[in-house]
Chains A and B, each alone.
Chain A
Amino acid sequence: AQTVTQSQPEMSVQEAETVTLSCTYDTSESNYYLFWYKQPPSRQMILVIRQEAYKQQNATENRFSVNFQKAAKSFSLKISDSQLGDTAMYFCAFMEYGNKLVFGAGTILRVKS
């Protein structure tokens, strides 16, 4: 069974600085997707970024980028120029093609002014 590990329960960062959230996963599959979701206090799940395993290029969405290391099964999220609105719980998730999402335990990120 696939597992997703987020080893940082909580992190803090100063506004405008950069922070990296770590995620590792375990799978025997070669085709899959990886995701980072943001869950603010409203509890709405917001897709931050998506990476397809067969793509070597790291995905980027504005201030959010990932460092995808397939061999190491690592998928970290870098948030640049952190903003107060980035304060949320962040979940790393894995999905085989057309299957269910498997979530990590989450990392609470607090952006301080």
Chain B
Amino acid sequence: GAVVSQHPSRVICKSGTSVKIECRSLDFQATTMFWYRQFPKQSLMLMATSNEGSKATYEQGVEKDKFLINHASLTLSTLTVTSAHPEDSSFYICSASSVADRNTIYFGEGSWLTVV
């Protein structure tokens, strides 16, 4: 089946620094990629939707300057958490839908971010 890879799976960074998380579709072209944040024992909260070559669409309440999303190619989207703070510590998951079938969603393995 289709594979979406996220990297890194775990990252620790210092307060005030920026950290980048990558989401790659390994064997298909992803028209659209989605970024979620998940707190313990809670549901996935959609942060933004990114389409290749255009600006991301952010959900209400998500700071676009804080969470920079770039979708430069049909196989790669990145989430950069800028000027990270401890409250940004969370589990971040990406998903992607393919050019061939926009109604099938594939999820990455997720990335744990800890800001110290």
Contact = CB atoms under 8 A, between A and B. Distances in A.
- Pick the most buried of A45, A47, A98, A103: most chain B CB atoms within 10 A of its CB: A45
A108 B43 CA distance: 11
What interface size band does chain B fall in?
A: 10 to 19
Contacts of A44: 107, 109-110
Given A98-B102, A98-B103, A101-B105, A43 B91 contact: yes
B43 A103 contact: yes
A64 interface: no
Given A45-B107, A95-B103, A105 B49 contact: no
B34 interface: yes
Interface string A77-113: 0000000000001010001011011011110100000
Contact of B110 (A43, A100, A106, A108): A43
Interface in B58-116: 91, 93, 95, 97, 102-103, 105, 107, 109-110
B43 A101 contact: no
B88 to A, nearest CB: 18
A45 B93 CA distance: 9
B86 to A, nearest CB: 20
A106 B42 contact: yes
A100 B49 contact: yes
Contact of B43 (A33, A98, A105): A105
A100 B103 contact: no
Interface of A: 33, 35, 42-45, 47, 89, 91, 95, 97-98, 100-101, 103-106, 108
